[in-house]
Amino acid sequence: MDETAQQREPLAEPGEGLRVEVYRLFGSNVRLEPAPARRSWLPQEAYRCPPITFANQLGYLVSLDGPLDMAWDGRPTPDGVMIDLHGQPIEARTDFGPGIATLFPNIVVKTPPGIGTLVKAVPNLPLGRLMLVEGFVETDWLDYTFNISFRFVVPGRVQLPPRTPLCALLPYPTLLLKGAQLAIHDSGAEHQRIQRYTERYLEHRVSAAQAAGQQGREALFESLYLRGETLDGPRPEGTAHARTPWRG
């Protein structure tokens, strides 16, 4: 690492929110925007489910200003894949592997020390017969771009309109993974406490569903989880909860 990189100022000060810097190079027309809470195919009731709504908002969506056409005829050779960028100022290749289309968005993402970037599929937004080849980029020190690759699950053609989200960039704290341990419990005092609480919660869900049948469909979704509460009162101090989506 050169001296300039070593002396780079942190991108976030203590007490400030995470700041992600994106550099678009060589005239790239790649668009980036915060992931919205809504998906066109999801029913309205889904937005009263915190896990779905919050997952929708994870990361920053990457898209192109123009259309993108890709096809695979089933052959395991590079010429079996076709990519039409319609003149957009990015690069594309087909030699990564059988049925794989690769785009070079010509962007460099920079994150604070200890924060990398997971290039992942957009939550709850399928791309037909395409599967994103996910990767993790160490954007806290790398100063060059990365690629976005798609594997055709089956041969065929995919036509994506302008501004279709291709992937999500999710900042991820790599420092949390260092020394992380997984513990699986099948017994013990805490195991018993959690199991008893789960039994109580399941009983509560049954009762709430029965009450909702009398009060109307909307009442079914006014759960403790949605309100950020536990069966015994407020959630533990210091834990996070968003009552409503933090993005529209």
Q: Please write the tens of the pLDDT for every residue from 40-76.
A: 999 988 887 888 988 999 999 999 999 999 999 999 9
Cα separations in angstroms, 109 against 56, 104, 119, 140, 235: 21, 13, 11, 8, 36
- Which of these, 41, 92, 85, 35, lies nearest to 64 by C-alpha position? 85
pLDDT at 92 over 90: yes
DSSP string over 192-226: HHHHHHHHHHHHHHHHHHHHHHHH-GGGGG--HHH
DSSP string over 173-190: EGGGTTT------SSSHH
What is the per-residue pLDDT for 28?
95
What is the per-residue pLDDT for 16?
64
What is the per-residue pLDDT for 66?
96
Give CA–CA dist 216/141, Å, rounded: 54
Give CA–CA dist 102/81, Å, rounded: 10
Boundaries of every domain in the chain: 3-174, 189-234
* Tokens of residue 91, six digits: 């690069």
* Tokens of residue 120, six digits: 């992942």
What is the per-residue pLDDT for 12?
45
Q: Are 160 and 67 in contact (CB under 8 A)?
A: yes
pTM recorded for the entire structure: 0.82
Range from 74-83, 141-150, 153-162, 238-247 carrying the lowest mean pLDDT: 238-247
What is the per-residue pLDDT for 107?
97
Range from 19-23, 42-46, 122-126, 195-199 carrying the lowest mean pLDDT: 42-46
pLDDT at 242 over 80: no
Options 3.50.50.60, 2.160.10.10, 2.70.40.10, 3.90.950.20; which CATH number does 3-174 get?
A: 2.70.40.10
Element housing 19 (H / E): none
Work out the pLDDT band at 91, boundaries 50, 70, 90: very high
The amino acid sitting at 147 is N
- Which of these, 107, 24, 50, lies nearest to 246 by C-alpha position? 50
Mean pLDDT across 179-204: 93
